[in-house]
Amino acid sequence: MERPVDVDPAWMKRVEDVASRLESSPVELAYRLVRASDTKLINMASGNPDPEIVPVKELSEIAMEVLSALGYEALVYPDAGGLEELRKEIRLYMAREGVSIPRDYDIVVTSGAQHAFRLLSEVLGSGRGDVHVICESPTFVETLAPLKLRSEVHGIPFESGRLDLDAMEDTLRALGPGRALIYLIPTCHNPMGVTMDEEDRRRVLELASEYEALVIEDEPYRAFSDSQPPALVTMDEERRVIYVSTLSKVLAPGLRIGWVAAPAEVAGVLTKLENYDITTSTLTQHVALEAFRSGLVDSTASELRDHYRNKRRVLEESLSEHMPPSVAWEPGGCGLFKLITARGFDAEQQLAEAIRRGVIYVPARKFFVPEGEEGSMRLSLGPPTPDEIAEGVRVLSELISERTGA
């Protein structure tokens, strides 16, 4: 058998440089463990929406209607930047959700929000050291990953559920004007579940203006919120905010429909870059278009508010009833997730034991910048039923109490 030829060392050095900046996702690890499990787990790890609320039947009918009406045209390569009719419907939908996209902004359809962030990282993060990303700590680890590949990242902590904007100002001042990109999940934060109030949003925009920073507003959970402060992009008067959203949480993640709303000149560059990989699907764009036109998106968004409010109530009550005093969390909130922190507990080390007992969560240490406490866990409200949420919390509380002596 011939010995394989080694890759040229010069090229391997480039590969290893990139590899050194790639991190394994704790979310993807949890997904793999769920798929590999021989027994049914109470899945408090997955970011998928509740299967009870995903309109599978309606989406199946729309898909068949699209294929019947368009035939071959539904299966061709996609238009750069997305179908024009879909972009118009997205703008209208955003307006119905209280998000007024400026007239001189264009919308670029992407293959989910994650694709949007990869494109933005290439456009805005020209090289490590040139651009610094300021983000909440904790934040969503998988969105942050592509930004970290091309930028230095600075985490801003929460204090009693509010982002420490004084610390943000100190960081901006230290970096100097024109060097920072502020990445925020201001509504139904992942993983905290908190929503930034209007006063703090206004101050973020003031800081961005003073220090010549851009802001990326990540809003996949706006439809989950009962009280929706104005979006940053709506409040912005200086074209500093780039807005990202998706149908993954409102409708279905497998459609891979996301979008970026950005100043026309930025959107134009994103469109050219998006056309390099052609990852968006013509078929699912047409399905999304008809889901908007038929009212399916709006009706599902309206239904999910009550649906997840009830599940969050069950989670809050179960945490209060079962968790020992060593476990902390922010009460209330909205969205799909809740972050809890158990003092003296190693969430990564104990994950295998939790799975053995029938529950899985996402260890959340890597959601922090820099990495946070070992006892941090993200709990999902998506797949588990209310009864499973209550049982999952009970099982986790027993495990935490046993391991910490609480």
284 and 307 belong to one structural domain: no
- Average pLDDT of the segment spanning 191-210: 97
Q: Is the pLDDT of residue 8 over 80?
A: no
Write the pLDDT tens digit of every residue in 365-397.
Answer: 999 999 888 999 999 999 999 999 999 999 999
- Is the model's pLDDT at 191 over the cut of 70? yes
Q: Is the pLDDT of residue 37 over 80?
A: no
| 266, part of any domain | yes
Q: How far is Cα 318 from Cα 120, in angstroms, rounded to an integer?
A: 40
Counting the structural domains of the chain, the total is 2
Residue 226 pLDDT: 81
**Percentage of the chain lying above the pLDDT 70 cut:** 97
Is 144 within a domain? yes
Mean pLDDT of 35-62: 92
Range in 141-145, 259-263, 289-293 with the lowest mean pLDDT? 141-145
Looking at the fold, whether 25 and 111 belong to one and the same domain comes out as no
Q: What is the mean pLDDT of residues 340-361?
A: 95
Q: What pLDDT does residue 279 have? A: 84
Domain shared by 30 and 80, yes or no: no
pLDDT at 10: 77
With beta carbons less than 8 A apart as the criterion, state whether 44 and 384 touch. yes
Domain boundary among the residues 276, 294, 312 is at 294
Q: What pLDDT was estimated at residue 249?
A: 95
- DSSP H or E segment with residue 267: helix 264-277
Quickly tell me which residue has 């264009």 as its tokens: 106
Position 19 pLDDT exceeds 90:
no
Per-residue confidence (pLDDT) for residue 403, from 0 to 100: 95
78-to-106, 182, 354 alpha-carbon distances in Å: 18, 31, 44
Q: Is residue 370 part of a domain?
A: yes
- Residue 201's pLDDT is 98
**Rg (alpha carbons) of the chain, rounded to whole number:** 22
- Residue 154: pLDDT over 60: yes
Average pLDDT over residues 151-167: 94
Same domain, 145 and 210: yes
Q: In the prediction, which pLDDT does 284 show? A: 97
Q: Is residue 60 part of a domain?
A: no
Instruction: Determine the Cα–Cα distance for residues 277 and 103; give it in Å rounded to an integer.
Output: 28
Closest CA to 290 of 141, 75, 89: 89
Q: pLDDT value at position 67? A: 98
Q: Give domain status of residue 307, yes or no.
A: yes
pLDDT tens per residue across span 70-108: 999 999 999 999 999 999 999 999 999 999 999 999 999
- 248 pLDDT above the threshold of 70: yes
Look at residues 228, 262, 294 and tell me which one is the last residue of a structural domain. 294
What are the tens digits of pLDDT across the range 134-151? 999 999 988 888 877 778
Model pLDDT, residue 275? 86
Give the model confidence (pLDDT) of 56-71 as tens digits: 999 999 999 999 999 9
Answer whether residue 5 shows pLDDT above 80: no
Name the residue range of residue 122's domain: 76-294
**Is residue 22 located within the same domain as residue 137?**
no
The Cα 331–Cα 7 span in angstroms is 53
d(CA 318, CA 307): 17
Q: Are residues 93 and 204 in the same domain?
A: yes
Model confidence at 210, in pLDDT bands (50, 70, 90)?
very high
Nearest-angstrom CA–CA distance, 194 and 383: 21
Domain-embedded: residue 223: yes
pLDDT at residue 4 greater than cutoff 70 = no
Whether residues 303 and 279 share a domain: the answer is no
Shared domain check, 133 and 204: yes
Same-domain check for residues 175 and 39: no
pLDDT of residue 1: 52
Residue 166: exposure state from Cβ atoms within 10 A (0-12, 13-18, ≥19): exposed
